């Protein structure tokens, strides 16, 4: 999907959001919940949405890590003559 182009969702489902849009919505949810003035049902709905968005963002980041690792591995195998990279970005330790 091209940058800046939003996907379409099936009827009854929300449109596909970019990683940045998901993070922005997560920040908004946190801000709303920190205010502490929402009814319980609304707070639970926000929390549920936040958990879902957090899992989606984590999945996107893990996929990005796999791609970076693959590209770095491929680059080393081709013998590009560059210095060996000693640390893989985004690695959890």
Residue of higher predicted confidence among 78 and 1: 78
Predicted pLDDT at 4: 39
> What pLDDT digit, counting tens, does each position of 41-87 carry?
999 999 999 999 999 999 999 999 999 999 998 888 776 555 555 56
The half-sphere exposure of 6 on its side-chain side, counting CA atoms within 13 A, is 9
pLDDT at 9: 47
Q: Which residues of 10-32 are buried (b: 16+ CB within 10 A; e: fewer)?
A: eeeeeeebeeeebeeebeebeee
17-44 pLDDT, tens digit per residue, is: 999 999 999 999 999 999 999 999 999 9
């Amino acid at each position: 999907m091209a940058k800046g182009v939003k996907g379409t969702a099936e009827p009854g489902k929300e449109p596909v959001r970019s990683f940045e849009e998901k993070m922005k919505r997560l920040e908004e949810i946190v801000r709303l919940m920190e205010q502490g003035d929402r009814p319980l049902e609304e707070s639970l709905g926000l929390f549920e949405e936040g958990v879902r968005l957090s899992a989606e963002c984590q999945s996107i980041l893990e996929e990005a890590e796999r791609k970076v690792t693959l590209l770095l591995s491929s680059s080393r195998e081709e013998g590009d003559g560059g210095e060996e990279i000693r640390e893989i970005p985004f690695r959890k330790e």
